[in-house]
Chains A and B, each alone.
Chain A
Amino acid sequence: MSSIASVQPSAHHHDASHGEETGVWSWITTVDHKRIAVMYFVTATLFFLMGGAEALLMRIQLVGPERDFLSPEVYNQLFTMHGTTMVFLVAMPMAVAFFNFVVPLQIGARDVAFPRLNAFSYWVFLFGGLYMNSSFLFGAAPNASWVGYSTLTSATYSPGLNVDFWFIGLSILGIASIAGGVNFITTIVNMRAPGMTLMRMPLFTWMTFVTSFLLITAIPVIAVALIFLGFDRVFATTFFNPAAGGDPVLWQHLFWLFGHPEVYILVLPAFGVISDVIPTFSRKPLFGYPIVVYAGVLIGFIGWGVWSHHMFTVGLGPIADAFFVAATMIIAIPTGVKIFNWMATMWGGSLRFTTAMLFSLGLLVVFTVGGLSGIMHASAPVNLQQHDSYFVVAHFHYVIVGGAMMGLWAGLYYWFPKVSGRFMSETLGKWHFWTTMIGFNLTFFPMHFAGLLGMPRRIFTYSAQLNVEVYNQLSTVGAFIFGISGLIMVWNLVKSWRSGAVAPADPWGAPHLEWSIPSPPHHYNFPRIPTIRSREPLWDEDERREIEALTLTEPHEEPVMPNPSYWPLLLAAAITLAWGLVMTGVWWIIVLGLLPVTFCVFKWAFEPAFPEGH
């Protein structure tokens, strides 16, 4: 701790970028994981505002019964795009922003294993998201819900372009996720600093590792389902067509076989964040480190065996229902163990309530509610009443906002000084936190009651006879408070990026390697790669001195970093174009669309990755 003040002259902030290009072109061609992280975060935040606006329009419609502020068709498009956007364009890529920025720094690497592939992931994500949202320009946004159940999505019952935009957009986005997963597994396996054994990795890196395996195993499952759906729609195959002996329930199995691991793809990164944040602001190491790691891995594994708890109403029979009840309940145990370990980490500590810490505590308080309502409908008979009602809407917002997003916002306040070299405003941060807590709970807690009183989800209006107006009014008021909290966050980001208080290398007294280098880091991260001897290297006086002798110095010679490249962007654009042409339904146009893809792959393959001579 003694060295914090001495090592980081604020002047360094301004020349940290020496040797690094600036300007728009440098961002477009960048392969630097830190810049890609920033682009991921900014893009996901813009999509977050968009998904939030969609939610607010829905809340205006639902403030009273039998209102006609929105037509049913527009409402159906909005709730479909809200769900699709928040899962695939906000929660996932925002987590990937943190993977990108933090993981190489936490393990002592100069970049990820495949820098161009990393840039490619970002551009595919951006183009996939823009492609899907461009549907609004045609008045044909996806309108068959984010789960897209067959046979509603068939060409018969959804003849327009709406579902084409949806299945093609998701197919494109899946490419980004799989490439990202491969990249981070390779990075974490191969590029750790000497001495950083697996069981010395910070929890955030661990959870990135587990999440990456879920990405490369779960995304292909939905890819298969989407390709089946595409063939059914475009070439009139019959995978899901009951009239020809196809089974619409097959879609549900494939979707949820992806969909449940997806829940952990969203939540485990947040668990990783707060497993780093809570020890830092408790000044105590994580309680039960190996147990927390194993619990995360176990959740990742069991997460594969519970998908049919989304399908208790489908009619799979009592034996299947009983199995999935038991499997689902079992997953509650490692989740509970994690919560108890976080509490034990704080026990006996010296707690500092920074905004990052507040959001971590918010996760503990709020996510617990979502976990417990989850136990309720993990019971198959109870599920028959709660499934597809507002009770479930309340539940998964408590899990995804209360779990995933709270954790990511904790991460934002925690790592922002490392990204930008400046603190985020704590005053605005606390406004952000408390408006989030109030707005979020006021929006989603009353939904439990609306659901128990029989209000189904995915309805553009409800009968006055249900007598659930008061809960909907509370939700609408809460949603606008929650919306304001998002604007406070954006304002804080912009203001702090420009003029926040200058941050030193280790502003929080944190234990991990990313805090041993300047804020913001050099583009090559580590002048020289340190050797690690413990789980909290910066909390050991001797080890810290050794590390900082290597990380806060000038390199012997400038490390060789990969070349910038525009081929990732062009390949991503070509892939988006090729997939988009599937909409035409003309086979030779679709085949022609593969030519630019082939060309870009070829050019990429023969482009030197490093400057000549290296």
Chain B
Amino acid sequence: MPEEIERGMAPIQQLRSRFSGLGMALLLALSATACGDDHPQSTILPKSDFAEIIHSLYVDIFWWTMVILVVVWVGIAYILVRFRARKGDAKPRQIRGHLGLEIAWTIGPALIVIAIVIPTIQAVFATQRPVSDDAMLVEVTGHRFWWEFHYPEEGVTTANELRLPVDRPVSLRLGSSDVIHSFWVPQLGGKRDVNPTVAVREGQEPSYNWLHFTPLETGVYMGQCAEFCGEAHALMGIRVVVEPQADFDAWVGRWQAGPGQAGPESVAADTPGPSGGEVRLAAQKEGETAEEQVTLGRDIFLNQSTCVACHAVNGTSAEGRVGPDLSLLGTRTTLGAGLLENTPENLVRWIQDPQGIKPGAEMPGTEYALAVPRAGGTIYGWPATGLTDQQVHAVAAYLSSLQ
């Protein structure tokens, strides 16, 4: 045996030296973590009161655990060096225990535990009550695989990109239309599960989860669904735009005014069939103005396609509530729930082939139909939209114009 152990030591020596290099790499990585505006989803760069409470608690606990880690690791290291077997070792003293030590290392950790539990429970209660009575209310609904945001007081509905005024308390009421999701925008605070609303008897109030916080800095914050919800769970992103109150008010004003009416009046009410559209788009290639293309797209969207079965644009006849609300789509930074940058080209790709970009998305493409399960077990079938390339370009131009 012993010579085999000796031989075994050689690779250990090599690996040990490699190990210290690894430790250096990890230290570098750690310091890279510390500076970090380039980490938009970081849990340790708090930008709300809620996130700050959590972060300061985390930092406290971090240092307590470091104390324990050092005691244990240094203790083990000392023991391994000091008490390793040497040739001719006598049988060690057969010590079976020591009551004083047992009491000491029970009470020591117990005190640390108390030091952690007390501020923790204070934070539990502090973060689970409304920040203030006049907080802005937003009803958040999780859908596979996108987010609906409804502002009941303002009457505004939007999707995937939540707009909030800075420094104003907000209360998010969380509900799901299908499976469990979890709303998580780390810089604005911890996550909270978005549960399906359990049906209740008449006269009873259904119960909801809530998140209460006050955003403290303007900016665009990234988040995403944090409870596995199916095929495209990884692509169920959230953006929160925190802006000055005046900008927020202006955005609400534009929504309420009905962006659908902002464009030119419909010229297409009496235009029959898709063939008319194709003729016009062909003309556009030869120099039709962008404005005319928007008009054409509006007509296709509202009157010549199945788009409005699912989508709504405020101020138009489009009132579908199955998919995301598209009023002011042009103001959003991303498409497909945080997946693509919101450019006209990406919008064209998305309308043509949502499954190719986001497998599991519950939207048909121009060339394929889709079967979608709904709560209660029914399956809805959506036919392919059948839009031609030119039509898609026109629709994209129209939707991008909604600003």
Contact = CB atoms under 8 A, between A and B. Distances in A.
A279 B61 CA distance: 33
Interface residues of B, number: 116
Interface residues of A, number: 119
A277 B334 CA distance: 57
Given A71-B359, A333-B110, A369-B69, A152 B375 contact: no
A430 to B, nearest CB: 4
A365 interface: yes
Contacts of A283: 85, 89, 91-92
A465 B40 contact: yes
A385 B58 CA distance: 10
Contact of A463 (B11, B25, B237): B237
B140 to A, nearest CB: 13
Interface string A141-179: 000110001111001110100000000000000000000
Given A379-B58, A388-B226, 14 more contacts: A73-B231, A73-B359, A144-B228, A149-B179, A149-B227, A287-B96, A313-B226, A314-B195, A344-B98, A372-B68, A423-B1, A438-B18, A461-B234, A474-B25
Contacts of A344: 98, 101
B62 A376 contact: yes
B109 interface: yes
Interface stretch (A190-198, A445-453, A567-575): A445-453
Nearest to A383: B190
Question: SS class of chain A's interface: helix, strand, loop or mixed?
Answer: helix
Contacts of B228: 76, 144-145, 149, 152, 388, 458
B95 interface: yes
Interface of B: 1, 4-5, 7-9, 11-12, 15, 18-19, 22, 25-26, 29-30, 32-33, 36, 38-44, 51, 53-54, 57-58, 61-62, 64-65, 68-69, 72-73, 75-76, 79-80, 83-86, 89, 91-98, 101-102, 105-106, 109-110, 113, 116-117, 120-121, 123-125, 127-129, 144, 178-180, 182, 184, 186, 189-193, 195-200, 209-210, 222-235, 237, 338, 359-360, 373-377
A290 B99 CA distance: 11
Contacts of A452: 33, 42-44
Contact of A381 (B94, B101, B123, B359): B123
A282 interface: yes
B172 to A, nearest CB: 12
Contact of A430 (B8, B80, B125): B8
A325 interface: yes
Given A155-B377, A249-B195, A329 B76 contact: no
B91 to A, nearest CB: 6
Contacts of B91: 283, 350
Contacts of A458: 228, 233-234
Contacts of B230: 76, 152, 157
Contacts of A380: 120, 123-124
A337 B106 contact: yes
Q: Which 4 A-B pairs have the closest CB atoms?
A: A384-B190, A454-B41, A459-B234, A315-B209
A368 B66 CA distance: 11
B57 A381 contact: yes
Contacts of B30: 449
Contacts of B225: 456
B192 A426 contact: no
A347 B39 contact: no
Contacts, number: 337
Contacts of B64: 375
B54 A385 contact: yes
A368 B72 contact: yes
B229 A152 contact: yes
A598 interface: no
Contacts of A314: 193, 195
Interface string A406-448: 0000000000000000010111011100110110011001100
Nearest to A345: B95
B7 A427 contact: yes
Contact of B97 (A236, A288, A388, A438): A288
Contacts of B12: 430, 434
A389 interface: yes
Interface stretch (A15-23, A26-34, A239-247): A239-247
A445 B98 CA distance: 36
A467 interface: yes
Contacts of B199: 242-245
Contacts of B110: 333
Given A283-B91, A351-B80, A318 B231 contact: no
A11 B51 CA distance: 70
A135 interface: no
Contacts of B18: 438
27 contacts: A76-B228, A144-B228, A156-B374, A157-B373, A248-B195, A282-B92, A283-B92, A284-B93, A287-B98, A325-B120, A330-B113, A333-B110, A336-B105, A343-B75, A348-B93, A364-B76, A372-B68, A388-B182, A425-B4, A426-B5, A430-B9, A434-B15, A438-B18, A454-B39, A459-B233, A474-B25, A474-B29
A290 B42 CA distance: 45
Nearest to A386: B43
A336 B124 CA distance: 25
Contact of B26 (A430, A434, A446): A446
Nearest to B187: A454
Contacts of A349: 83, 92
Contact of A438 (B19, B360, B377): B19
A592 interface: no
Interface in A283-341: 283-285, 287-291, 313-315, 317-318, 321-322, 325-326, 329-330, 332-333, 336-337, 339-341
Given A242-B197, A347-B79, A449-B29, A336 B43 contact: no
A20 to B, nearest CB: 29
A465 B39 CA distance: 7
B124 A322 contact: yes
A352 interface: yes
Nearest to A458: B228
Contacts of A282: 83, 92
A210 interface: no
Tell which of A315, A322, A431, A437 has the most Cβ of chain B within 10 Å.
A315
A361 interface: yes
Tell which of A313, A332, A337, A451 has the most Cβ of chain B within 10 Å.
A313
Contacts of B62: 376
A382 B53 CA distance: 9
Contact of A332 (B73, B105, B109, B237): B109
Contacts of A242: 195-199, 375
Contact of A375 (B5, B61, B98): B61
Contacts of A494: none
A287 B100 CA distance: 13
Contacts of A73: 231, 359
Interface in A231-258: 236, 242-249
A427 B4 contact: yes
A283 B86 CA distance: 13
A505 to B, nearest CB: 15
Given A315-B193, A456-B184, A348 B73 contact: no
Contacts of B338: 463
B33 A449 contact: yes
A353 interface: yes
A376 B65 contact: yes
A77 B92 CA distance: 53
Given A157-B178, A245-B198, A453 B117 contact: no
A470 B29 contact: yes
Nearest to B9: A430
Contact of A467 (B22, B39, B196): B39
A149 B64 CA distance: 34
Nearest to B377: A156
